Amino acid sequence: MPSLNTIAISVGDLNGVGIEILLKSHEEISKLCNPIYCINTNLLTQAAKLLNVSIPDDFTLQEVSGWFEIQAGVVNAESGRYSYDSFMVGIKLCEEKKADGIVTMPIHKEAWMMAGLEYKGHTDLLRKHFNAEAIMMLGCPEMFVALVTEHIPLREVTQKVTYKFLKQFLLDLYASLSLREAEKIAVLGINPHAGDNGVLGHEDMRVLKAIKSANKKLGIECFEGPIVPDVAFTPHVRCNYNHFVAMYHDQGLAPLKALYFDESVNISLNLPIVRTSVDHGTAFDIAYQGKAKTLSFINAVKSAIQLNTRKI
């Protein structure tokens, strides 16, 4: 029987629901992998006391120095900085081959800003840390959505999505996935009606050019589109695809979260390490109330294990 994967887990913003999810799901997770939680004993003890739960005997920690008073539902620099430090310790475990991947709990972007951090989130940090064009893909086995652009203003999307950039994005995405033979990937257009052949803008012509060029480079007709965005996620279209490429954040994530909010995960592709995450935020409004759901985290761990064996 093969040995279990070792998965580093960064604890996210301790003022949110992340630590509750980790404690709740530890028994199930430890059957899937050997988890290493990036937190110190003092902060873990404080969190467990606030939750009125006991810490499992086999809850393995990787020391992350630091101390602050946990304040449920509060955005502050101390919790933001610690979530960053926890993440960096997890990355180091992967780089040193002491972990096969990292699963991240949610951080709060404003808390990172308050802590003086320059990054907009996990993916932005990974992209700069590894000097690689990390691809953000979210979803579950029923549907995955890869984002060409992420946390940028809508007015900047058409400037970012050039022919050259999109072609390389598609090639990198294909190389990062283990697709079934003849499986197609749907590529959404940018404009309403995918531009209507230039009537509603010419940006989708470059999308079409990038799709054709990427397919020619691959030698297969993998990518299809540009598909009209307002019908791409309807049942009769969705049944033909498992993977979608969205041009901007809300174009892809609004339908994904409407359909699969509780079970989706966030996956970082095109990196030298495996990284997955829950697909939800810090949920400050329910922090330390015993209400947090664990399904997204459990799926994130399963996805990290699958990615480590190239099965996504």
118 and 180 together in one domain: no
246 pairs with which residues across the strands? 147
Q: Is the pLDDT of residue 3 over 80?
A: no
Q: Which of 5, 198, 202, 195 is nearest to 94 (CA)?
A: 5
113 and 214 together in one domain: no
For the record, the structure tokens of 37 come out as 């939680």
Does residue 146 sit in helix, strand or coil? Answer: strand
Q: What is the mean pLDDT of residues 202-213?
A: 96
CA–CA separation, 227 and 105 (whole Å): 33
Q: Is the pLDDT of residue 218 over 60?
A: yes
For the record, the structure tokens of 183 come out as 């499986």
23 and 103 together in one domain: yes
Residue 301: partners with Cβ closer than 8 Å, 6 or more residues away: 7, 29, 32, 33, 35, 103, 276
114 and 191 together in one domain: no
Q: Give pairs for 172-176: CB < 8 Å, separation 24+.
A: 172/133, 172/135, 172/269, 172/270, 173/135, 173/137, 173/146, 173/245, 173/269, 173/270, 174/214, 174/218, 174/222, 174/223, 175/270, 176/135, 176/269, 176/270
pLDDT per residue over 84-109, tens digit each? 999 999 999 999 999 999 999 999 99
Q: Which of 242, 128, 236 is nearest to 185 (CA)?
A: 242
Q: Is the pLDDT of residue 246 over 50?
A: yes
pLDDT confidence of residue 120:
86
287 and 306 together in one domain: yes
Query: Taking a C-beta distance cutoff of 8 angstroms, is the pair 310, 42 a contact?
Result: no
Q: Which of 12, 100, 1 is nearest to 296 (CA)?
A: 12
pLDDT confidence of residue 1:
43
pLDDT per residue over 58-79, tens digit each? 999 999 999 999 999 999 999 9
Q: What CATH number is given to the structural domain containing 83?
A: 3.40.718.10
Percent of all residues in the chain with a pLDDT value above 70, rounded to a whole number:
98
Q: Which of 67, 27, 24 is nearest to 48 (CA)?
A: 24
152 and 254 together in one domain: yes
10 and 120 together in one domain: yes
176 and 70 together in one domain: no
3 and 127 together in one domain: yes
32 and 6 together in one domain: yes
pLDDT per residue over 273-311, tens digit each? 999 999 899 999 999 999 999 999 999 999 999 988 765
Label residue 163 by pLDDT band (50, 70, 90). very high
Residue 5: partners with Cβ closer than 8 Å, 6 or more residues away: 33, 34, 100, 101, 304, 305, 308
Work out how many domains the chain is built from and give that number.
2
Q: Domain range spanning residue 81?
A: 1-132+273-312
Q: What is the mean pLDDT of residues 154-169?
A: 96
109 and 154 together in one domain: no
pLDDT per residue over 7-41, tens digit each? 999 999 999 999 999 999 999 999 999 999 999 99
Residue 122: partners with Cβ closer than 8 Å, 6 or more residues away: 87, 104, 107, 266, 268, 275, 277
266 and 277 together in one domain: no
Q: Is the pLDDT of residue 150 over 80?
A: yes
